[in-house]
Amino acid sequence: MKTLNNMLSEQLKDEEFRKEYEAIQPEMTIIRAIVDARTSQNLTQKELAERTGINQADISKLENGTRNPSVNLLKRLADGMGMDLRIEFVPKQQI
């Protein structure tokens, strides 16, 4: 049986797939950060919604990648979890 990492490694050998995969990484990083921050505090989406005033359905859409958050919305989420929001630009890695 193939693991997810093995399957991904194989797929990344395909140049077109790799480019698409790399293109979505900023969004995936944000999604993972939101979910990780929320779950690390044992918060449900509903509880986070109550803390932030953001509709639970909108939090769900953010977490499943069907809605792109504004910086203001990310700040509200961070505030609701007692966190600071940091956004940074980092140099691209040369291949």
* pLDDT digit string, tens, across residues 15-71: 999 999 999 999 999 999 999 999 999 999 999 999 999 999 999 999 999 999 999
**Where does the pLDDT of residue 1 fall: very low under 50, low under 70, confident under 90, or very high at 90 and above?**
low
**Can you tell me the distance from the alpha carbon of 76 to that of 25, in angstroms, rounded to the nearest whole number?**
22
pLDDT score at 92 = 85
**Can you tell me the distance from the alpha carbon of 5 to that of 24, in angstroms, rounded to the nearest whole number?**
17
* 69 in any annotated domain: yes
* 94 in any annotated domain: no
pLDDT score at 94 = 75
* 2 in any annotated domain: no
Threshold 0.95, pTM exceeds: no
Query: How many domains are there within the chain?
Result: 1
CATH number (domain holding residue 34): 1.10.260.40
81, 41 in Cβ contact below 8 A? Answer: yes
pLDDT score at 39 = 97
Tokens of 65: 């990648």
DSSP letter at 84 equals: -
* 6 in any annotated domain: no
